Amino acid sequence: MKILILGGGIGGLVASNLLSKRLGKKHEVTVVDRKTKYESTPSFPWLMMRWREPQQITRNLSHQLRGDIWSYGIFRQCIRV
């Protein structure tokens, strides 16, 4: 089975990690996002207050995904996780 998840935000990451874990390697889970980095939206006010630096509230999307998931930044090269 091939599953496509649109958006690698909180919802997309949780869904892809859960599906990948439960379905196993027989199935392919693909996450599509326009960015290659995950940004923690609840942390944005800290950024505005300069309590955090951008690199403290962002992570490479590939590091947030399990196993054999592919992450495609639209207009960017795809990354094998």
Ligand X SMILES: Cc1cc2nc3c(=O)[nH]c(=O)nc-3n(C[C@H](O)[C@H](O)[C@H](O)COP(=O)(O)OP(=O)(O)OC[C@H]3O[C@@H](n4cnc5c(N)ncnc54)[C@H](O)[C@@H]3O)c2cc1C
Beta bridge partners of 4: 30
Q: Which two tokens stand for residue 70?
A: 């592919």
| Shortest CB 26 distance to ligand X, Å | 26
Residue closest to ligand X (Cβ): 9
| Shortest CB 15 distance to ligand X, Å | 8
Q: Which two tokens stand for residue 12?
A: 């997309």
Q: Are 70 and 7 in contact (CB under 8 A)?
A: no
Q: Which of residues 9-48 bind ligand X (CB under 6 A)?
A: 9-12, 33-35, 41-42, 44-45
Residue with tokens 């592919």: 70
Residues that bind ligand X (CB under 6 A): 7-12, 33-35, 41-42, 44-45, 74
